Amino acid sequence: MSTKGPSEVPAEAARAEAGDGMTLGAADAPQREAVSGPRINLFGLDRSALRAAFAEMGEAAYRADQVMLWIYRRGVDDFAAMSNIGKALRERLATHFVIRPPQLVTEQVSTDGTRKWVLRLEQAEGKPETAIETVYIPETNRGTLCISSQAGCAMDCSFCSTAQQGFSRNMSTAEIVAQVWFAAKTLGGDFQNERVISNVVFMGMGEPLANYANVLAALRILLDDFGFGLSKRRVTVSTSGLVPYIDRLTADVDSALAISLHAPNDALRDQLVPINRKYPIAELMDACRRYLAGKDRKTHIVFEYVMLAGINDQPEHARELAKLIGSMAAKVNLIPFNPFPQTRYKRSAPEVIERFSDILRAKGVLTTTRRTRGDDIDAACGQLVGKVQSRQKQRLSGIPVKLQ
């Protein structure tokens, strides 16, 4: 997490925040411009895109940087409050742009401090209302925000509540980023020195790499010193295994990577994670090795493994998993299954999970067991949102997955 104070902001950001000592933009004009079409939500523009938009307005690039600092480092969503930007320019910005967070539908707070929000997305004319879930998990030394990248999911993983409800649509960059801003604003702190969100994980609703372009732009805002300024090791993208897009992610942005593995062989993974039929385990593991190549020695991949009683939790599965990982820089995160209505699966018993973990560790595999949080507020992703909206049920088996 970046913890830079006002005097520690990178030089370029400091210059943007200070401006040039003037309060008027280069293209200030007394009259309000006529603008066609809807205003652009600034949560959807990374620094490069925002600078380009300002250039089209005849404004200097540093003005865009100033606006980003106001939004992401000070939590401001009102142009009128941006005091180092001239009034005329602020009025032009309000004509062209909007800073619009999502609308809260429902909030639940667990006895352990976990918070789950159902947030309403932008509604296109004639389209049904769409909502997603965002979850905040507080711990002693960090605060993790689990964000969504799609409304629903088409991957059709049989043990996942969200997948069983089906897929509605991709989220825009603005909708993805706005979750983080909304959570930070709701939880308090000053967005800079005392931030309660130290980690962001793309482990909510949807397959992030199936919405690649929008997720990539969101990642850039999360990591940018003019954006949320998070460390690359504290922003994690989780994927069920879209191999070509793992390679693209490796080339495009330096973030942490998690793989929803859940099985150590193709026969079992084909049943649990259907995308495996297109990108089998051998191809997936090769992509993981390419991701690690050239990274610093602290970089590792997290393999997520949900523990399903009698399905994938036997000693032979643990030994097979350890052999699959081998000497790769990796950690296995064992996840007790979160039951949901109509599921045929059951959670592995604690002693079974412990035995599985012991086998992996004996084979030299770094292993952790995720502590179950928020059981009293429907901890399984997608449960709550399924109660407040209806969705068209589209799944991998029934529709082609269009990768962007």
- Give 20's DSSP letter: T
Closest CA to 378 of 133, 140, 152: 133
Cα–Cα distance for residue pair 13/3, rounded to 1 Å: 14
As a dihedral over the C-alpha atoms of residue 261, residue 262, residue 264, residue 270, rounded to 10 degrees, the angle is -90
Query: Of 153, 157, 288, 381, which residue is the catalytic one?
Result: 381
Contact (Cβ atoms closer than 8 angstroms) between residue 149 and residue 171: yes
Query: Of 17, 59, 133, 175, which residue is the catalytic one?
Result: 133
- Give 287's DSSP letter: H
Torsion angles phi and psi, residue 211, rounded to 5 = -125, 50
Active site residue 381: yes
Q: Which residues contact 256 (CB under 8 A, 6 or more apart)?
A: 232, 233, 234, 235, 236, 237, 299, 302
Q: Which residues contact 402 (CB under 8 A, 6 or more apart)?
A: 210
Torsion angles phi and psi, residue 177, rounded to 5 = -65, -35
Active site residue 17: no
Q: Which residues are identified as catalytic?
A: 133, 381
